[in-house]
Amino acid sequence: MSVHLPLLIEPMQLEDLPAVLDIERASHVDPWKESFFAEELTRPHAVNLVARLRDDRRRIVGYICVWLVADEVQIFNLAVDPAVRRRGVGRRLLLTALQKACTQNARMAFLEVRRSNLAAQKLYETIGFRPSGLRPDYYDGIREPAVLMELEMDRGWRSRWLLSEAGWMDGERSC
């Protein structure tokens, strides 16, 4: 893996959508439409974050969209600019979203990932997600199954992943 990029993780704004859509189209076979992202920005239970390069704050290099409901977090969309993949952007976005969820009492995280997306599955597994099932023909455009993954954000996981890497999550309260 290459050297990690210096990043700023910030809430997604409406004016970020053109850059987010560029990454979305480069990353997904059946990309979300602009209206999907715009709607997510209005949902009170949604957390939508972008990763910007610290030395060029105008450049968005990734994003994540999650919902916080009760004590669960559902990860709906995570994508990184193909030019900067495998440099820690997806991991930072995911851990930042999980930290925010944890501070709001989330204790379980769930997601679906294409069965053929082995790089994403590896990322999720290194953070502690485990496969929990399969949804046949989940992705319309390609009729590919989704691997269901879940993460129990217990005390051991929190102390390993959130406390040990909390230095870059300035201002976040501990969970």
125 is catalytic: no
Pairing mode, strands 108-114 and 72-80: parallel
15, 63, 112, 150: the catalytic one is 112
Pairing mode, strands 72-80 and 56-69: antiparallel
CB atoms within 10 A of CB 147: 22
10, 24, 124, 165: the catalytic one is 124
C-alpha span between 146 and 49 (Å, rounded): 23
| Nearest alpha carbon to residue 8 among 41, 53, 65, 47 | 53
152 is catalytic: no
Spatial strand order in the sheet of 108-114: 7-11, 46-53, 56-69, 72-80, 108-114, 144-152, 130-139
DSSP 89: H
Alpha-helical regions (H) of 16-173: 17-27, 34-40, 89-103, 118-127, 155-157
Residues marked active site are found at: 112, 124
